[in-house]
Each structure stands twice: as structure tokens, then as C-alpha cells.
């Protein structure tokens, strides 16, 4: 953002403050442009190649030097930006789903949206699960929609947000296996899952669902591995 300079009389022999202001505005404009180009290039690169893509390649795609990229972002900061953008969009979809008079349809439309985005973006497939705080934010969206469907009698009462979270993570990870030979296979997997989530004629699920704390513990080693390979 450019801020207007306060005009003051120029001391004798000094350069005109207005010229200095114009140069400062130009530098700020260039810096803003560089950041926008880096973010756009990173989003596209992550979508196409996944989180393991190098900063050198992102800089090349953005048309900036490596030093310029490093002055503005670490790789982890770029991934954070990617998550925040993804999550803001999922929040908007969740808000629409919560406004749907049919609670089950709202839940299904939200889950489908997450998976459709996953087919187009390789980085998204593990993204929401690799940080505890990201997992919690995504679980909260699922939980709100699931609770509404349970209250309407459409979703089975013994299902938890953690159950749905793990199933969604499983389908997203499977996309990497079936993307080339059967890109729509995820729809079959989701249909099987949704049928099992319905309340009608449902036998009680065996055992207990993992808690949020157990889920974080169980995903910890896996997420650390993703971070080591994708954020180095």
C-alpha cells in the first residue's frame, strides 16, 4: 500500500521531497507486485507439483530472483498462505451448506467441494492435516455440519467429526494413486462413505471414535514427514 508523503519545504541544496516520495511509492508498488506474483506462482506450483516443489522453481515461475523471494517469504509462510486461502473458501462453502434447509444435502455438498478441489490441487490433499491448528479448524467445520445432520435425524448419531475427518483424508490420499487411471474413483469412495453415514437401518459402529487429542497424536509422525519433505 502507498502512503501519501507529508510535504515539507526542501532544505537548500537538498533533493525535492516530492521526487523522493514518488520513488518510495514506486518501490512500495514494486514490492507489492513482487509479493502478489510470488503468491500467485506459489499457488499454481503447489497445485501442479505438490508441497515438495522448490523455492527456486517458485521464484522462476514468479519471474523474480531467489533473493527477492527469500526477502518476502519462507516456504512455510507460502504454505500458510495457501492454507488460509483454501480455508477461507471452505468457510464460505460451509456457510452456504449451513443455510441449506436440507441438513444432509448441506453436509454432502461441503464434503464434495473439498474433494473436487483436491482433484485439481495436489498440495491440498495433505494440507489441512499437517498442522494441529489446521486440523482443528477443518474439524470444526465438519463438526458443525455433521451435528446439524444428526439433529435432523439424517446422519447416524454415533458418528464423530474425527471419523469424517479421517475418512476424507483417506479419500484425498487415495487420489494420488487413482488420478491417472481412474480420476473419478473418489466419487465411488465418497458414495460408499455417505451410505455408511446415514442413520437409516444403521447398526451401531464398533469400538470408539478417536478423540481430537488421539487424532493429533496419531497424525503427528505422518505430518512431520510431510513437513520434512515438503517444507525443506
Q: Encode pLDDT of 159-216 as tens digits.
A: 999 999 999 999 998 888 887 888 899 999 999 999 999 988 677 878 878 787 777 7
pLDDT at 230: 57
**What are residue 155's DSSP bridge partners?**
198
Q: For residues 128 and 67, give the distance between their C-alpha atoms in angstroms, rounded to a whole number.
A: 29
75-230 placed in CATH 3.20.19: no
**Polymer length in residues for the chain:** 232
The per-residue pLDDT string of the chain (232 residues; one tens digit each, 9 = 90 and over) reads 433 333 333 444 444 455 555 444 555 778 889 999 999 999 999 999 988 899 999 999 999 999 999 999 999 899 999 999 999 999 999 999 999 999 999 999 999 999 999 998 988 888 877 788 888 999 999 999 999 999 999 999 999 999 999 999 999 988 888 878 888 999 999 999 999 999 886 778 788 787 877 777 767 666 666 656 655 3
Q: Where does residue 84 rank: exposed (0-12), middle (13-18), buried (19+ CB within 10 A)? A: exposed
pLDDT at 214: 75
Where exactly does CATH 1.10.357 map onto the chain?
75-230
Residue 139 near residue 89 (C-beta atoms within 8 A): no
Q: What is the pTM of this model?
A: 0.78
Fold of 17-72: Arc Repressor Mutant, subunit A (1.10.10)
Kindly list the distances between the CA atom of residue 92 and the CA atoms of 69, 98, 218, in Å, as whole numbers in the listed order: 30, 10, 29
Where exactly does CATH 1.10.10.60 map onto the chain?
17-72
Amino acid at each position: 500500500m502507498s502512503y501519501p508523503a507529508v510535504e515539507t519545504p526542501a532544505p537548500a541544496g537538498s533533493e525535492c521531497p516530492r521526487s523522493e516520495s514518488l520513488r518510495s511509492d514506486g518501490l512500495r508498488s514494486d514490492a507489492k507486485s513482487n509479493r502478489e506474483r510470488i503468491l500467485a506462482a506459489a499457488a499454481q506450483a503447489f497445485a501442479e507439483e505438490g508441497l515438495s516443489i522448490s523455492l527456486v522453481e517458485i521464484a522462476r515461475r514468479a519471474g523474480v530472483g531467489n533473493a527477492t523471494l527469500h526477502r518476502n517469504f519462507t516456504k512455510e509462510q507460502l504454505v500458510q498462505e495457501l492454507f488460509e486461502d483454501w480455508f477461507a473458501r471452505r468457510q464460505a462453502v460451509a456457510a452456504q451448506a449451513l443455510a441449506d434447509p436440507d441438513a444432509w444435502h448441506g453436509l454432502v455438498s461441503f464434503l464434495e467441494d473439498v474433494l473436487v478441489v483436491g482433484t485439481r490441487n495436489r498440495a491440498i490433499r495433505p494440507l489441512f492435516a499437517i498442522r494441529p491448528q489446521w486440523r482443528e479448524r477443518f474439524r470444526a467445520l465438519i463438526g458443525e455440519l455433521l451435528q446439524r445432520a444428526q439433529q435432523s435425524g439424517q446422519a447416524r448419531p454415533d458418528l464423530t467429526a474425527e471419523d469424517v475427518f479421517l475418512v476424507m483424508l483417506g479419500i484425498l490420499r487415495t487420489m494420488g494413486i487413482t488420478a491417472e487411471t481412474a480420476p473419478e474413483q473418489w466419487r465411488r469412495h465418497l458414495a460408499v462413505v455417505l451410505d455408511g453415514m446415514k442413520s437409516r437401518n444403521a447398526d451401531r459402529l464398533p469400538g470408539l471414535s478417536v478423540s481430537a487429542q488421539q487424532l493429533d497424536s496419531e497424525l503427528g509422525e505422518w505430518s512431520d514427514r510431510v513437513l520434512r519433505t515438503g517444507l525443506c
